[in-house]
């Protein structure tokens, strides 16, 4: 069910241009296979709300909380991210999340873990059009390989529903394989020391 009283007016508050879509393209840098959403009604639905900017108002795709109003996302990236801004589109009702808590580089957090202090916290406003952006502390979120998003409460509903989460920022490819390559190249490679006569023989066999 789409948000009540939905209109496209709010979109005008955001600069509608190809650049806007590019700015919110970090969804493509998420390791979706390992993304976790805790307390979702439908398994795997949490992954679906990280989608292209032009699909943000597709209200047929959403995640809804199960046992209570809490939702928790563990979001690994395929490299390092400088996170600059976040958009949260929810229902125009009391099921819209009212608070968002962010934790940096703490993989596989649970509801027990989020009792600790977050790296940043926001009081959210009802936004069913994607017209509001929450700016992060860039110094804090300048090198993020894993982001945890905790939505502890909503505006009074029995469950929380989210249609879209947009992440804006810069992406840098990870360099985790550099050491492996160096170690490999440090070993003697027998093929580099082939006897030319051996190669001649192999050609003759072929």
Answer whether residue 202 shows pLDDT above 90.
Answer: no
d(CA 155, CA 157): 6
Could you tell me the pLDDT band of residue 8, with boundaries at 50, 70 and 90? very low
Extract the tokens encoding 117: 């202090």
Place of tokens 């069913």: 128
* 154-194 pLDDT, tens digit each: 999 999 999 999 999 999 998 654 444 444 445 555 555 55
Q: Is residue 91 part of a domain?
A: yes
For the chain, the first-to-last Cα distance in angstroms comes to 68
Domain range spanning residue 68?
Answer: 9-205
Extract the tokens encoding 38: 């805790």
**Better-predicted residue by pLDDT, 135 or 184:** 135
Q: Is residue 2 part of a domain?
A: no
Tell me, what's the pLDDT at 193?
52
Report the CATH number that the domain containing residue 77 is assigned in CATH: 2.60.120.470
Q: Is residue 69 part of a domain?
A: yes
Q: Is residue 83 part of a domain?
A: yes
d(CA 42, CA 31): 19
* 77-126 pLDDT, tens digit each: 999 999 999 999 999 999 999 999 999 999 999 999 999 999 999 999 99
Q: How many domains does the chain have?
A: 1
Q: Is residue 4 part of a domain?
A: no
Q: Is residue 1 part of a domain?
A: no
d(CA 88, CA 79): 23
Lowest mean pLDDT among 18-22, 68-72, 185-189: 185-189
Measured between alpha carbons, how far is residue 183 from residues 32, 48, 173, 188 in Å?
30, 39, 20, 10
Q: Is residue 48 part of a domain?
A: yes
Q: Is residue 143 part of a domain?
A: yes
């Amino acid at each position: 069910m789409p948000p009540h009283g939905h209109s496209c007016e709010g979109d005008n508050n955001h600069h509608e241009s190809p650049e806007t879509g590019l700015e919110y393209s970090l969804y493509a840098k998420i390791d979706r296979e390992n993304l976790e959403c805790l307390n979702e009604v439908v398994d795997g639905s949490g992954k679906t709300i990280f989608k292209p900017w032009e699909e943000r108002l597709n209200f047929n795709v959403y995640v809804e909380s199960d046992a209570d109003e809490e939702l928790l996302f563990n979001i690994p990236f395929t490299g390092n991210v400088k996170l600059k801004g976040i958009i949260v589109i929810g229902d125009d009702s009391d099921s819209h999340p009212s608070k968002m808590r962010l934790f940096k580089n703490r993989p596989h957090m649970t509801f027990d873990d989020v009792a600790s202090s977050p790296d940043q916290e926001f009081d959210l406003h009802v936004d069913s059009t994607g017209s509001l952006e929450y700016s992060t502390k860039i110094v804090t979120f300048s090198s993020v390989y894993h982001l945890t998003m905790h939505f502890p409460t909503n505006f009074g509903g029995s469950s929380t529903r989210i249609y879209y989460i947009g992440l804006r920022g810069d992406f840098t490819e990870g360099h985790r394989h550099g050491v492996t390559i160096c170690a490999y190249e440090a070993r003697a490679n027998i093929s580099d020391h082939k006897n030319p006569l051996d190669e001649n023989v192999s050609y003759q066999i072929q």
